[in-house]
Amino acid sequence: METDDCIIIGAGPAGLTAAIYLARFHLSIRLFDCGSSRAATIPCTHNHAGYPDGIAGKDLLALMLAQAERYGARREAVEVTALARDGDDFGVRTDHGEWRARTVLLATGVVNHRPDMDAALHDRALAAGLLRYCPICDGYEVTDKRVGVVGTGDHGMREALFLRGYTRDVTLVSPAAVHDLDDACARALDAAGIARVEGPCGGFAIEDGRLALDTAAGRMAFDSVYPALGSRIRSELAVAAGARATAEGCLEVDDHQRTSIPGLFAAGDVVKGLDQISHAMGEAGVAATTIRNTLADRAPLRR
């Protein structure tokens, strides 16, 4: 079996940035992706630098892929199902076969936990900006609007407080029957003038251009709703191979994006950090350059 210089798992902003760098380093790479980048769900990003009129996540990914392809990289639409150390190299199993590489970059991202609502409605609400997942990205767009946050506990409180920087009208709605807020959380919410409503929330529907939902206080409607329900970190391949991760599952890396397994790198949302496109790209640039230098230490890279 042929051994590639690097297998990149995931073709979101992190994986595609790495593909551009590694292909331009004249390395042999494979780029496996199962087609569920969070970036593909962004209707139009306005905080990603370089696009003053914003750009749809799908368009940004298409441009990045075209750039990677210009240097010979190819995105293969497959899911990686297993990753294991094999001597100094790695064995990578996909639903289409097995591959071998000297290094692996995990750029598999995260999956947001969604509120309990119909998938088609979810996607329509997301496209219309009625449902939003990232206040850092698009809090600006809800300036002075009526905003609901579905969440509770520390996480829900922090999201609601962050959004209070954009609008006075923030309501924290409990996903379950009662809020789980300690005194400190409750005091912080009160001090910021954030309303609290018990759940369970459900019955989501688009009504009069707003996203409406049932709460213990009756039906409420918001210009935008932010679920603050956490996410699943897609680090399971690396964790099963023995890589160290935080309690939530984020991969631990050093400042060169090296995981605790030599030769295994990680970048983007799967690593603990700012879950942003720019951050994913920056980490991938660092990872790709370290991968190149690691390979050069093993055997000189000469034209």
Ligand X SMILES: Cc1cc2nc3c(=O)[nH]c(=O)nc-3n(C[C@H](O)[C@H](O)[C@H](O)COP(=O)(O)OP(=O)(O)OC[C@H]3O[C@@H](n4cnc5c(N)ncnc54)[C@H](O)[C@@H]3O)c2cc1C
Chain contacts with ligand X (rule: CB under 6 A):
9-15, 32-39, 41-42, 45, 47-48, 79-80, 107-109, 112, 126, 133-134, 137-138, 234, 237, 268-269, 275-278, 280
CB of 268 to ligand X, least distance (A): 2
Residue 170 near residue 196, CB atoms below 8 Å: no
CB of 86 to ligand X, least distance (A): 18
Residue 33 or 179 having the CB closest to ligand X: 33
Q: Which is nearer to ligand X, 39 or 157 (CB)?
A: 39
Q: Could you tell me the smallest distance in angstroms from the CB atom of residue 270 to ligand X?
A: 6
Residue number, 126 or 195, with CB nearest to ligand X: 126
Nearest distance from C-beta of residue 59 to ligand X, angstroms = 13
Task: Name which of 34 and 213 has its Cβ closer to ligand X.
Answer: 34
Nearer to ligand X, 39 or 170 (CB): 39
The tally of CA atoms less than 13 A away on the side-chain side of residue 28 is: 8
Name the nearest CA neighbour of 139 among 171, 103, 164. Answer: 164
Nearer residue to ligand X within complex by CB, 246 or 278 = 278
Q: Which is nearer to ligand X, 12 or 282 (CB)?
A: 12
Q: How far is the CB of 182 from ligand X (least distance, A)?
A: 29
Give the list of residues 6+ apart from residue 151 with CB closer than 8 angstroms, or none: 159, 160, 172, 173, 174, 175, 226, 227, 228, 229
Q: How many CB atoms lie within 10 A of CB 158?
A: 16
- Assess contact for 18 and 288: CB atoms under 8 A: yes
- Give the pair of three-digit tokens for residue 156: 């829900």
Length of the chain measured in residues: 303
Residue 133 in 3-state DSSP?
A: coil
Q: Least distance to ligand X from the beta carbon of 267, Å?
A: 7
Contact partners, residue 242, CB within 8 Å, separation at least 6: 85, 260, 261
Nearer to ligand X, 237 or 288 (CB): 237
- In the chain, where does DSSP find H-type helix? 13-24, 57-70, 119-127, 135-138, 153-163, 183-192, 236-240, 277-298
CA dist., res. 120 & res. 125, Å (int):
9
Alpha-carbon distance values, 301 to 3, 28, 88 (Å): 15, 12, 18
Closest distance of CB 243 from ligand X, Å = 14
Distance CA 188, CA 209 (A): 31
**C-alpha angle 35-271-148 in degrees, rounded to nearest 5:** 75
Q: How far is the CB of 152 from ligand X (least distance, A)?
A: 20
